Amino acid sequence: MPGRPIAATDLLEQFRQAFADVTLSPTEARRLRDRLAAFTQHGGDVGRLRQAVFNLAKERFNTFKDKAVVEWLEAASVLLPTPSAALPVAEQTQVYFSPGEECVTAIQQFIAAAHRTLDVCVFTVADDRLTSALLAAHHRGVRVRLLTDNDKLFDRGSDVRQLHGAGMAVRTDCTENHMHHKFAVADHRLVLTGSYNWTRSAARYNLENLLITPELAVVTRFAAEFARLWDTLAEFKG
């Protein structure tokens, strides 16, 4: 995050520049998302900023039809929950258990709360709900990287090929042994780990555990291990 508070006028200028050519590239979107997060963290008035952005849109798109669409979006956006209300991020260590839905819900929220990077190192991905969450993160511009075990690629229900086909970076262990980790690092500020496999059976039947923590020492070690494995394991070719 930037060292000084982000001013609403600075953010408004970025939106104005984006409106100038009616495009918002992935790089611009990522930069805006980071600056908006810093703005919110420092107590910025998001509601007032939203109003100013819609005013910009009304100035830029000034036909009767354009204004009607912008006004409809403005009214609809007020009804939507804010990210902080919809996606709680762990400010302290949280623990979850299965069977039941609390582990899969916690993983979904963890993925949805990632702003810039999401490094996932898991034995397998075979729960469509978590696959959908990963795809959503990828499509909104988060850099998602997946490390997984090569033997599990052939399991019925494995979604690794689907994730790779969507453009996600994937690497696999290609030894006779297993890459048996189950952890993820979001934005180098949160770690998710535990015995919980990313499968439907883990939620329905298994006695599993999951831990999410912002503890810096833990985040640093897991991030370093992911980086080491990423440099070691082979790129998945599909």
Mean pLDDT taken over the chain: 82
Catalytic residue among 10, 187, 188, 231: 187
Question: At the topology level of CATH, where does 87-235 sit?
Answer: Endonuclease; Chain A (3.30.870)
Catalytic residue among 42, 139, 178, 180: 180
Taking Cα atoms as reference points, which of 183, 232, 191 lies closest to residue 213?
191
Predicted structure pTM score:
0.63
> Any residues with CB less than 8 A from the CB of 81 and at least 6 apart, and which?
none
Mean pLDDT of 116-137: 94
Q: What is the pLDDT of residue 208?
A: 96
pLDDT in tens, 128-181: 999 999 999 999 999 999 999 877 677 777 888 899 899 999 998 877 778 889
pLDDT at residue 238 tops 90: no
pLDDT in tens, 45-75: 666 777 777 777 777 776 766 666 666 666 6
Note if 187 is an active site residue.
yes
Catalytic residue among 138, 152, 181, 182: 182
Preceding omega of 5 cis (within 30 degrees of 0): no
Q: What is the pLDDT of residue 84?
A: 42
Q: What is the pLDDT of residue 87?
A: 39
Instruction: Judge contact between 186 and 177, C-beta under 8 A.
Output: no
Long-range CB contacts (< 8 A, 24+ apart) of 16-25? 16/56, 19/56, 19/57, 19/60, 22/60
Largest CA distance in the chain: 65
What are the sequence ranges of the domains in the chain?
Answer: 8-85, 87-235
pLDDT at residue 218 tops 80: yes
pLDDT in tens, 220-234: 999 999 999 999 998
Note if 159 is an active site residue.
no
Helix, strand, coil in percent for the chain, rounding step 5: 50, 20, 30
